[in-house]
Structure 1
Amino acid sequence: MNNKIKKYLKEAVILMFVLAIAMNIISYYKSLDLNKDKLDITSFTLLDKNTFIISKAKPLLLHFWATWCPICKLEGENIEKISKEYEVISIVVQSGSDEAIQNYMKEHNLSFKVVNDKDGIYSQKFNIKAFPTTFIYDKDKKLRFSEVGYTSTFGLYTRMLLIK
């Protein structure tokens, strides 16, 4: 019986490794069409109607998501954690009214900065086709990283530290 458990554990580890590689390949493929230009936006109007001015001296994590996206729900806590230490702007797409989004944020204990992309202006500008999609810009607003799909808290912290 012990040999069977070892065999299944070994197969599970191999499967997880293969899945991780496949997910990274898919993410890379999906990110090929994203806007790779230098960030030319200097401010955003947030959900709470405040204006957020992008720092010229700090890296920026720009995160596109939707309230109806199950992967985005899983990733929300990761974005929340990283937003406590780094400059993060999240852009919520196809997710309803400001009030509906505020209710979603409250229900899921999220407090990061949110822009409601009601008209799809930002999602078109960045050529977003799937959610979640994350961009990381250096302090000069040059794109250093982009990913389509789930990103762990550890992965986000590591990428932010590498471009600092």
Structure 2
Amino acid sequence: MQRLIKLTSWIKKAAVYGLLFIALSTAVDWYRTSNSPSTLPPSMVATMLDGDSVDLVAQSFESPVVIYFWATWCSVCRFVSPSLSWVSNHYPTYAVALNSGSDRRVSAYVQQHNYQFETVNDSDGSWMKRWQIAVTPTTYIIHQGEIQSVTTGFTTPLGILARIWLS
């Protein structure tokens, strides 16, 4: 009986701490993304490392599109990138490597880590400025030509999928 009381007490505390963590994470994420753009241009063509070009806005009318801003030097990205790589097997996912070096260096990094997402190298910072990226990683979900979700920092495959499904 004593064990049951301790277990119940522990579960209640864990639930309270879990809810506090979710509330705090949501508040921080909202603050970080408050300056993010709220609209997209009518056309947004991205040129991938392999030379292929994709209009991300046009593609978002076919399926939700994930745009993942990351960097090779970002410690949190090392944990999040495999999740986005997995998501890219199910939804169109385009990564924008921020200030990560030459095309050759970024391509080698992507291949070394076996990432499956298509990658744009933002070596001059133009994507970063246009999207007002202040935190890496930052993940956008666009659908039907509109931004549906923006999140920063650590996220899980389930968190990404939930954002896609809610778009």
Q: TM-score band (shorter)?
A: 0.7 to 0.9
Deviation at 1:4, TM superposition (A): 10
3-state SS, counterpart of residue 61 of structure 1: strand
Aligned-partner Cα distance in 2 for 1:64–1:5: 44
- Could you tell me whether the CA contact under 8 Å between 2:43 and 2:55 is conserved in 1? no
**Alignment length, in residue pairs?**
162
Aligned-partner Cα distance in 1 for 2:6–2:121: 49
Q: Give the 4+ runs in structure 1 shifted more than 6 A.
A: none
Q: Does 1:61 align with 2:63?
A: no
Long gaps (5+) in structure 1:
none
For the aligned residues, what is the CA RMSD? Answer: 2.1
TM-score by length of 1: 0.86
> Percent identity of the aligned residues?
24
Cα deviation, 1:25-48, whole Å, max 9, x if unaligned, reads: 100111000111124343211012
- Could you tell me whether the CA contact under 8 Å between 1:65 and 1:72 is conserved in 2? yes
3-state SS, counterpart of residue 25 of structure 2: helix
TM-score by length of 2: 0.85
Aligned-partner Cα distance in 1 for 2:42–2:94: 14
Partner of 1:23: 25
Aligned-partner Cα distance in 1 for 2:45–2:149: 20
3-state SS, counterpart of residue 76 of structure 2: helix
Q: Aligned AA for 2:83?
A: N
1:141-156 equivalences in 2 (<5 Å)? 141-156=145-160
Partner of 2:123: 118
Partner of 1:93: 98
